[in-house]
Structure 1
Amino acid sequence: MPTPQQLKDAFKRKYKKEVTLEPEQRVPVFMDVFDEFVKDCGMQNNWRDATYEKFATIKKYLQGFDSELTLDALDETRLNDYVNYLHDTKNLRNSTTGKQIDFLKWFLRWSKRKGYPTNPAFDTFKPKLKTTRKKVIFLTMEELNRLREYPIPARKKYLERVRDVFLFCCFTGLRYSDVFNLKRSDVKAGHIEVTTLKTADSLLIELNNHSKAILDKYKDIPFERDKTLPVIRNQRMNTYLKELGELCGIDEPVGETYYKGGERIDVVTPKYALLGSHVGRRTFICNALSLGIPAQVVMKWTGHSDYTAMKPYIDIADDIKAGAMDKFNRL
C-alpha cells in the first residue's frame, strides 16, 4: 500500500512537476530493480545469451507499457492492462502473452523476496487466456528420406552442409546448441558423449549408420575450435532449411489454430515454411517412438526427465502406428 507521500509524489511526477525526495522516501525505480534481477538470476542460473535476450525483450515491453511503472502499482487492474497491451499493441499470441506474464511473476517473486515494496496481487493473478496445444512439427520417414536423397543442384551447394547437420540432429536427437558445440573429443568408438548446454545433462548417444556416415564425411576437414561438424548460425540455418524443404517438395499443408485475446485465428502453412533446426530433434523422437523403441530408451538419448514432456511425441507415435496397421487392410 503506497504511503500518502508516495501518492503525492507520483501525482507530481505525472504532471511534470519537479519533486525532490528524501533518500528514505524514494520509490525503487522499476527498471533498476529489473536490471538487478537479471544480473542476480543470470549469474545464479548460468543464463545463456538467449535467456538474456529474452529478458531484454520483456524489459522493452514493460517500458513500452509504462515507462514510469512502479512495483507497488501492479495491482490486478494494472496487470490486466498489461495483458491487454501485449495482445492489442504488441500483437502477441495468447500463448506468448502467458509466457510473458509467467516471466514477470518470476521477477515480482524475486523482488518481493528481496524486500522491495511489491504489490501482492501477482501471487493470485491468472489471466484467462484461451490457448491450444502447439503442434509438433517433424518429418515423417518418407519426408526424411526424400530430404536425405534429394540431389542438391550445383548452384545450391551451400545447402549440402546445412542438410548434413540437420540430418545429424534427425538421427541423434541433439539440439542445435549441442551439435554446434560438438567437438571431435566428444566422438568415441560407436557413440558420442555430450553435456547439454541447456540442461547440463550428461548424455551418451549411440551412433547409427546414418549419423556415423555424416561424422566420417567431415572427419578429415578441420573446423574452428576443433568442432566436429560445419554448423552455421541458427538463424541462417533455419532460413536455409526452409529453402531446402521447399526444393524437396516437403509441402504438406499444416493447419494451426491460435488465439489473440478472444480472437480465434486459423492458418494453413506448407510444412517447409515451418522447418527449423529443432525439427531435427523432434523428428528423431517421433520416428524413434514410431519404430517401437521404448520411450524410456529415447529419453536416455534426449535427456528428457519425465513422461510429461514426452507425451505429445508418444501420442504422435501412436497415431503413426495406427495408420501403419491400417495398411494391412489394403492387402
Structure 2
Amino acid sequence: MRSTFKVLFFLKRDKQKKDGSVPVYCRITIDGKEARFGMKKYIDPKLWNIKEGKATGKSAESSEINALLEKTKAGIHKIYRDVQERENTVSAEKVKNIFLGIDSKQYMLLKAFDEHVEEKFNLIGKRIVKSTYHRYYYLRVRLSEFLTEKYHLSDIPLREINYQFIRDFEMYLLTVRGNKQSTIAQYLINLKKIVELAYKNEWIYRNPFINYKIEDEKSERGYLSQREVEILMNWKLDKRLERTRDVFIFCCFTGLSYIDAFKLTKEQIQLSIDGQQWIMGKREKTDMDYFIPMMEIPKKILEKYKNHIFKDGKLLPVKTSIMVNRHLKQIAEICGIKKHLTFHLSRHTFATLTMSKGVSLESVSKMLGHKNIQTTQIYAKMTTEKIGRDMAIFAESIRETERKFVVNF
C-alpha cells in the first residue's frame, strides 16, 4: 500500500531577525505525520510566495534560494523512494534523519575496513596466508591517502560510496600512485568485497559496484619450456643455490606453491592401493584439497634430502621468500634463463607441461587445488609441441581425403 507523501517549504515567522528576514523551513509529511528542519537560509518575507512555497522574482537571492529548495526536494524524494523500496514502512522522521546525515546508524568505510583487516589478521595461518592480509592492509592505506588528498576527509560514510567514487579511486591509483592495471584490479576486487559485505549486512542499501566493470590486463602467464627445465636441473651450482634450485624443480613437477612446499611434511606423502606415492594436502591459500601422484624427479629430490633434519619435520630445504627470490634471480642469471624465476612460474610450468603432454584440464585443476576449472584455464598453455602433435594426428586422420584431392594446373 502506497503512503501519502509531500514536501513543502515555509517561513518560520516567529524567528524573525532584526533585519526583518525570516528562516526558511522544510516540512516532510508522510501519512499525515510531519517532520521539520531548518534550511539555514533567511529571506525577506516580501520575496516569499506562500502558495507556491518558494521565492518570487528573478533576483540573485531568489534564484539561489529556489535552486537550494529544488535540490533539497529532489534529494528527499530520492530518499523516500529508496526507503520505500527496501523497507515495509517509511516515516517522515526517518527520511529527514537520512537526508540530514543523522541516521541512527552511520557506518564508515575505513572503520568497516579496520574491522575486516583485523579479522583477516586473526585468520593468518588458519584460513589465509600473510600475503592475503597484506593486500587488504595496503588497500586500506591507499584508501586513506585517497580520502585525504581528494576529499580532505579522514573517513567517509559507506552510503556515500558511489560509482564516481570508485572511478575516482581507480584514476588515483593509476595516475597518482602509478599502479599497474593488474594491481588496480586487485585493489578494486578487494574493495568490492568490503562493499558487498556492507550490503549483505544492510549497512548500505545499494551496491555501487553493481554496474562497475573492473578492467584487468590480460597478461600472459610465464612458464618454462621443457628444455629450460632440463637446463636448470643439470646445471652445477654451489650448495646454497642448489637447494633452492632443487625445491623449484620439485614444484615444476608437482605444481606445489611456495607456501605448500615450505610446509610439506612426511605425513602428506601417502601410498595408493597400487603402491604409488602421492602428495596429499590442503592448499594454504584456498583450503582446497590437492592430490598429486609423485613422478621420479620429485621422488629423487625427496630421497636426496631424506637424511637432513629441517625444522618442524619439513621435507625440503625451503628458505624465506625473500632469500628464495634472491637465489632464483642468481640462478636464472647463471643458467642463462631470460625469464623471471618465481614459484608462481614453477606452478605455471607444471600446469603447462602436463597439459601439453595430454593431461586433462580436470586432472590438472585437481592437482593444483583450484576452486574452479576456470582458474586452471588461465595457467594452461598450448605449446607448439602439443599443437604440432595434435595437427599430426589430424593430418593422419584425413590422409585418405588428401589422396583424393587433385590439383588442376
Give TM class, smaller chain: 0.7 to 0.9
CA distance in structure 2 between the partners assigned to 1:296 and 1:46 by the alignment:
25
Contact residue 364 and residue 376 of structure 2 kept, 8 A: no
Q: Number of residue pairs matched?
A: 289
1:103 Cα deviation (Å)? Answer: 1.4
Which residue of the other structure, out of 347, 355, 380, is the alignment partner of 1:289? 355
Given candidates 246, 254, 259, the residue that maps to 1:172 is 254
Q: Which residue identity lines up with residue 239 of structure 2 in the other structure?
A: K
Counterpart contact for 1:223–1:229, Cα < 8 Å: yes
Among 64, 70, 76, the alignment partner of 2:145 is 64
Moved more, 51-60 or 187-196: 187-196
* Corresponding residue to 1:321 among 386, 390, 396: 386
Name 1:186's counterpart in structure 2.
268
* Superposition RMSD in Å: 3.0
Q: Is the 8 A contact 2:107 2:203 kept in 1?
A: yes
Question: Would the aligned equivalents of 1:171 and 1:211 in 2 still touch at CA under 8 Å?
Answer: yes
Residue matched to 1:256 = none
Cα distance in structure 1, aligned partners of 2:178 and 2:131: 22
Q: Indicate if the aligned counterparts of 2:127 and 2:286 stay in contact, CA closer than 8 A.
A: no
Residues of 2 paired with 1:88 and 1:101: CA distance? 15
Shift of 1:42: 6.7
Aligned ranges 1:1-331 → 2 under 5 Å: 27-40=106-119, 46-66=127-147, 67-117=154-204, 120-126=207-213, 129=215, 131-152=216-237, 156-189=238-271, 190-251=277-338, 271=339, 274-314=340-380, 316-323=381-388
Given residue 112 of structure 1, which amino acid in structure 2 is its aligned partner? Answer: Y
Structure 1: distance between partners of 2:160 and 2:231: 57
Quote the Cα distance in structure 2 between the aligned partners of 1:220 and 1:289. 34
- Aligned CA distance change for structure 1 residues 6 and 91 (closer, same or farther; 3 Å): farther
Comparing 185-194 with 49-58, which one deviates more in the overlay? 185-194
Q: Which runs of 5+ in 1 are unaligned?
A: 10-21, 252-270
SS of the counterpart of 1:292? coil
Residues 141, 287 of structure 1: 8 Å contact kept: yes
> CA separation in 2, counterparts of 1:288 and 1:93?
31
| TM-fit CA distance, 1:287 | 1.1
The offset of 1:323, in angstroms, is 4.7
Q: What is the identity, as a one-letter code, of the residue corresponding to 1:188?
A: Q
Q: How far does residue 161 in structure 1 lie from its aligned partner after superposition?
A: 0.6
Say which SS state the counterpart of residue 382 (structure 2) adopts. helix
Task: Determine which structure has greater relative contact order: mean sequence separation of CA pairs < 8 Å that are 6+ residues apart, divided by chain length.
Answer: 1
Find the structure with the greater CA-based Rg.
Answer: 2
1:245 maps to a residue whose letter is A
What is the letter of the counterpart of residue 161 of structure 1?
R
Displacement of 1:247: 0.6
Q: 1:163 to 1:292 in 2, by over 3 A?
A: same
| Residue matched to 2:14 | none
- Note if contact 2:251-2:346 (Cα within 8 Å) is conserved in structure 1: yes
1:9-45 CA deviation, whole Å, 9 max, x = no partner? 8xxxxxxxxxxxx8x6674343222122334567689
**Change in 2 beyond 3 A, CA 1:164/1:107:** same
Return the letter of the residue paired with 1:63. Answer: S
The letter for the 2-side match of 1:28 is Y
More helix by share: 1
Distance 1:308 1:56 in 2: 28
User: Residues 318 and 161 of structure 1: is their aligned pair in 2 closer, same or farther, counting only changes over 3 Å?
Assistant: closer
Percent identical: 27
Q: Which amino acid aligns with 1:142?
A: R
Alignment correspondent of 1:12: none
What CA distance in whole angstroms lies between the structure 1 residues aligned with 2:168 and 2:382? 42
Contact persistence 2:128–2:286 (CA under 8 A): no
The Cα of 1:239 is off from its aligned counterpart by: 2.1
Corresponding letter in the other structure for 1:52? Y
* Deviant stretches of 4+, over 6 Å: 1-9, 41-45, 324-327
Paired with 2:327 and 2:391, the residues of 1 have a C-alpha distance of 36
Q: TM-score, normalised by structure 1?
A: 0.77
Alpha-carbon offset, residue 185 of structure 1: 2.1
Residue 160 of structure 1 aligns to which amino acid in structure 2? Answer: E
